Amino acid sequence: MKRSGLFTHVLSASKKILKTFIHRSSGTEKTFGMKLELRRTDLLTGCTLGELFINGRFECYTLEDKVRDNGVKVYGSTAIPKGTYDLSVTFSNRFQKQLPLLHDVPGFEGVRIHTGNTNQDTEGCILVGRVKRQTSIEESRLAFSHLLPQLESADSITLRIL
């Protein structure tokens, strides 16, 4: 192996080691620096459909409230602004279970990722589903049950909304 090839191999292996480690206290695998990306694909009159990626890999579809002009906000009926947000999994008093929570969203509080199928279920939050329809998503519980353990295994998470 050439010197530059060996360097590339060592660098690649080092990145993999840094990305994942065994959490000594619980024995669970933790992932460093998980990056979520929400790509809004369908800006409709009543809702916004999109695709959620984890570290560049497609995970599921999303549904949010309508994207409105800058500065316009209708309580419980407006998608959050584009941007990058820190995310953590915390207990939701409203839903009485662990849910992902977006931090420091301008003009919004309590923005979560959770299950639901239509814009009537969102109130400013992000819904996830395995199947995309014209104005809804389906198999939300299945999508969420696959997503949540991945988020819980991360030591830090950012969500970039495009």
Give the model's pLDDT for residue 32.
74
H/E stretch holding 30 reads strand 29-31
Burial class (CB in 10 A: 0-12, 13-18, 19+), 5: exposed
Low-confidence ranges of the chain (pLDDT < 50): 1, 7-27
d(CA 43, CA 63): 10
Tens-digit pLDDT profile for residues 29-65: 556 789 999 999 999 999 999 999 999 999 999 999 9
